[in-house]
Amino acid sequence: MDAGNATEFIRMVAVGAIPVIFAITLHEVAHGWMARRYGDRSAEMLGRLSLNPLRHVDPLGTVLVPLLTLWLGGLMFGWAKPVPINPRAMRNPKQAMVAVAAAGPAANLLMAIGWAWSLHLAVGLAQWAPVAGDFLGRMARVGVIFNVLLGIFNLLPVPPLDGGRVLRGLVPESVGRRLDAIEPYGLIIILGLLLLGVLNIVLGPLFRTVLDLVWLFSGVKGG
């Protein structure tokens, strides 16, 4: 990596670090918060409802993978350490797990909208502080794109992703047991779909649709 590429890489890390870290942190906090509402205080007792990113850092998913994916493809991706969830401690465990699983992607959608709205602030800031306004604008766009991507990816109906958890809570128990049997192989299935290009075919149109809706809702034309 020459000096020019190194400088560009550092700039991209600086722009993407805050939105990516908070996206994966608040995704997990949302799971823990919803679990607490249904009676499970496991995450709270372990301090995992904190907004301090250090409490949620996974060395692989929060540090290595985001840097590697940014270096390879120009777009950060990653995850935080999963919050502990105890369905047996919840009221109406099956219903509760649907809400707990859905809370993470819902938090990402709300964050995407929040980052999109912050683009209005970036435009105003750029009028008297161009460098700061440009930096905030770039950061906001990363925040929107990453949160939409993370939310949609997690909604894939493959356990152990959130979409698989939601599906598990909605189907009859006989089907649910089959999903439980698939879960140990879920990440292998997802990797296979990714390598075959199936994920791009399935998620690409949905990603673009949700992204367009976020821009529309926030009043930002074309992002």
What pLDDT is recorded for position 223?
A: 60
**Number of domains present in the structure of the chain:** 1
Residue 223 counted as domain residue: no
Reported as a single tens digit per residue, the pLDDT across 155-193 is 999 999 999 999 999 999 999 999 999 999 988 998 888
Catalytic residues: 28
Reported as a single tens digit per residue, the pLDDT across 38-57 is 999 999 999 999 989 889 98
Domain containing 181 equals 3-218
Q: Write down the mean pLDDT value for the chain.
A: 89
What pLDDT is recorded for position 202?
A: 87
Long-range CB contacts (< 8 A, 24+ apart) of 76-80?
76/16, 76/20, 76/142, 76/146, 77/146, 77/149, 77/150, 78/20, 78/24, 79/24, 80/24, 80/25, 80/27, 80/28, 80/53, 80/56
